[in-house]
Structure 1
Amino acid sequence: MKQNDADPPPPPTGGILWETAGDVRSLLALPAAFVLQVAHPAVGAGVDDHSVFRTDPWGRGQRSLTSVLTWVYGGERAAEEGRRLRRVHRDIRGTDPHGRRYHALTPAHYAWVHATGYPVARYARRYFARPFTPDEDERFYAEWLQVGRILGIHDRDMPQTTEEFWPYYRKMLAGGVGRNTVVDELTAPDRAVPPPDHLVPRLLWPVLRPALTRASAFLSVGLLPPEAREAIGLPWTPRQERRLRRCAVAVRLLVPRLPERLRYLPLARRARAAAQRSA
């Protein structure tokens, strides 16, 4: 299938996202990004009313991860995945807890979901990898905007530079986000999560679940930028911060030394291998 000339292209091969999105360390920041997304009342209500994150968290997580990786590594499939995602969200509508009508594709709501990926990924990188230089930060944001175009987000609905992003972000934190039922569930260390649909994890789930839910809650809060934690109202102690930093040292030292087949997720690894063969 040849990419339509009108389709926005994916981020560049060899770019910042090409190097970082499929790295296994990116998985660690996903819970925090999800929490920041659903802290928006319309997004939280949509997830509360329509998502299967409670009944099928593993399937939902896999589908979301595949979608994200396709935006970056999918080549000609990236734009079609963006269209598919918009079709999925077309009928997600309802009323939030404040009695306000919401629709998932309302530009401000849809853009916020995408925008949250930038500050969370940037903050998490300070723990698990070398922080971006100013030039890399600008390129990372420009590539994230390109992904937004794939998703159907118009330039007018997203800040177009990092300089424009931070006032928008601070304004959203000041009056656009807060704790809600979904935030509390995602950050609860004793959250009820059904077992994966595989025999061994199912058998071991009574032992595995408490450790996994505690780790997920820990990362969900710890990898939120401090100003986002404060705006949402999520506590974080100096002791927790020290623990996160100790864990991050191991990740930062180990992952870069892994071979590519272990460091990158399968979809990213296949795309990177194909790009190397065609170079």
Structure 2
Amino acid sequence: MNTVKNDPRPPPVGGVLWSMAGDIRMLLTLPAALTMQVAHPAVGAGVDDHSVFRTDPWGRGERSLTSLQLWVYGGKDAAEEGRRLRQLHKSISGTDAHGRRYHALTPEYYAWVHATGYPVFRYAQHYLGRPFTEAQERQLYAEWLQVGRVLGIHDRDMPQTVEEFWPYYQKVLDNDLEATLVVRELVATNPALPAPDRGLRWLRLLLRLSWPWLCPRFARIRRFLTIGLMPPDARQAIGLEWTDAQERRLRRFGRVVRAVVPVLPERLRFMPIARRARRAARA
């Protein structure tokens, strides 16, 4: 671990992100945030050209989730993970679908990838938990800015208040987002998605055998949650349809999630890195 004296610290123990980032409900929100990210042509092109999301989607998802957990629960390792990510993105460049050059660390693009988390977490909370109070929303945004510093995002490249965030957000929706190739793949109901290759050997074998039946059903659920937990203004900007019937189904699903998840034991409710950090904080 290569620590630096003035490394930015992760969000505080006991804060809004501390409570939600390791909760299993977070898993349901990530596809919406990812889809908003790749709806930006530069980000979508970077993922299309350089990511292994087609050939190793489960491994990529596991690595991304581990990284996210370290931003919040990693302590001194958080800043090192931020440096690792910036180093990883240094070589990601190319040309987007409109013939424009991009680089992954261009502040405008790098900041947008991070910024999507705030509106998605805020919106999904209406379905999956208790809606945030105004004070909690402000705290969540302040903590998300702190995560941005861990990732190497300069304050000058992100709106510094909630009031400044929404005009910035609306400008990106109005001027940049579109249904990129990667967006269309992420919401497809017939994806060329390989069977999961993680877990116990017998489970991998079972999934491989049943994958032709499971895959289209998984894809429909993924599409439903991706579009449903995406803020409506982003959904509209990208051109993703959402019906009243789907909204009613999502509300019913949310009621079940809100009833079940909070009563689960900690070992089932929180992901491993979060569980270890929470135990260490109590000790």
TM-score by length of 1: 0.97
Mapped partners of 1:178, 1:204: distance in 2: 34
Q: 1:220: Cα distance to partner?
A: 1.0
Q: Per the alignment, in what secondary structure is the counterpart of residue 192 of structure 2?
A: coil
1:203 matched to which residue of 2?
209
2:200 matched to which residue of 1?
none
1:25 matched to which residue of 2?
25
**Equivalent residue letter for 2:222:** S
Q: 2:77 aligned with 1:83, yes or no?
A: no
Q: Deviations over 1:170-223 (max 9, x none)?
A: 111010111111111101122221011222221221222122111111111111
Mapped partners of 1:230, 1:264: distance in 2: 32
Q: Deviations over 1:232-268 (max 9, x none)?
A: 1111111111111111110011001111111101110
1:127 matched to which residue of 2?
127
Mapped partners of 2:178, 2:115: distance in 1: 17
2:174 matched to which residue of 1?
174
Mapped partners of 1:199, 1:82: distance in 2: 36
Q: Deviations over 1:12-49 (max 9, x none)?
A: 11111110000000100000000000000000000111
- What does 1:86-105 align with in structure 2 at a 5 Å threshold? 86-105=86-105
Mapped partners of 1:42, 1:239: distance in 2: 34
Q: 2:199 aligned with 1:193, yes or no?
A: no
1:228 matched to which residue of 2?
234
Mapped partners of 1:102, 1:77: distance in 2: 29
Q: 2:278 aligned with 1:268, yes or no?
A: no
How much identity, in percent, do the aligned residues show? 66
**Equivalent residue letter for 2:155:** D
**Equivalent residue letter for 1:184:** R
Mapped partners of 1:9, 1:185: distance in 2: 36
Mapped partners of 1:129, 1:144: distance in 2: 19
**Equivalent residue letter for 1:188:** A
2:73 matched to which residue of 1?
73
- Which runs of at least 4 in structure 1 moved beyond 4 Å after TM superposition? none
1:251 matched to which residue of 2?
257
Q: Any unmatched runs of 5+ in structure 2?
A: 198-203
**Equivalent residue letter for 2:178:** G
Q: Deviations over 1:119-142 (max 9, x none)?
A: 011100100100111111111100
2:221 matched to which residue of 1?
215
Q: 1:2: Cα distance to partner?
A: 8.0
- Whether the aligned pair in 2 keeps the contact of 1:45 and 1:97 (CA below 8 Å) is yes
- Whether the aligned pair in 2 keeps the contact of 1:40 and 1:177 (CA below 8 Å) is yes
Q: Deviations over 1:114-161 (max 9, x none)?
A: 000000111001001001111111111000000000000000000001
Mapped partners of 1:13, 1:191: distance in 2: 39
Q: Per the alignment, in what secondary structure is the counterpart of residue 94 of structure 1?
A: strand
Q: Any unmatched runs of 5+ in structure 1?
A: none
More displaced 10-residue stretch of structure 1: 203-212 or 70-79? 203-212
Q: Per the alignment, in what secondary structure is the counterpart of residue 125 of structure 1?
A: helix
TM-score by length of 2: 0.96
2:201 matched to which residue of 1?
none
Q: Deviations over 1:55-87 (max 9, x none)?
A: 110000000000000000000100000000011
Mapped partners of 1:257, 1:186: distance in 2: 32
